Amino acid sequence: MACLAVACACAAASGSTALAQGPGAAPLTFQAALDLATSRNLGLEAARRQKAIREAQIRIARQLPNPDVAFESTQDVPHYSLMFSVPVEIGARRGRRIDLARAEAAQADLDVRTDVQRAGGDRRQAGPPD
């Protein structure tokens, strides 16, 4: 509905906008106002950014855990100790983590498509002015 309100406001202001732009500028058409409102739809932009975040989470899920190295110096015997540990994932946890990240990315893609269709539906409901 916000898209509809912006489009109507742009269409209503198109006459005064053409005068404010100068004599050589073309007037703002209803279709141009709708395209402008769709391109500046914050909900759609947020959904696109959420999709990018989900795709980054797939790359993060594919990474292997980092090994740990620790060094310790004490007064007692032994004076020095060096520890090295490598986490090992058992039971296909990494594969499930990657599958979950892919499913969330697919959901984000679906959210973007839904928001695009919803914005298109708002545009169709608005219709051209009479």
Q: Give ∠ CA 84-88-94 in degrees, rounded to 5.
A: 140
Sign of CA dihedral 48, 52, 57, 59: positive
pLDDT value of position 29: 85
Question: 71 or 6: whose pLDDT is higher?
Answer: 71
pLDDT value of position 83: 95
pTM: 0.56
Residue 37, Cβ density class (10 Å: 0-12 exposed, 13-18 middle, ≥19 buried): buried
CA distance 105 to 107: 5
At 19-55, the pLDDT tens digits run 455 566 778 887 887 778 778 888 888 888 988 999 9
CA distance 28 to 63: 50
Block residue for tokens 């409102």 = 37
pLDDT value of position 73: 93
Block residue for tokens 């855990």 = 65
pLDDT value of position 96: 94
pLDDT value of position 51: 87
Length of the chain, please?
130
pLDDT value of position 17: 46
Question: 72 or 130: whose pLDDT is higher?
Answer: 72
Question: 35 or 18: whose pLDDT is higher?
Answer: 35
At 53-101, the pLDDT tens digits run 999 999 999 998 899 999 999 988 888 999 999 998 888 899 999 999 9
Where in the chain are the domains?
2-126
Helix (H) or strand (E) holding 81: strand 80-85
Q: How far is C-alpha 65 from the geometric centre of its chain's CA atoms?
A: 26
HSE toward the beta carbon, residue 74, CA cutoff 13 A: 8
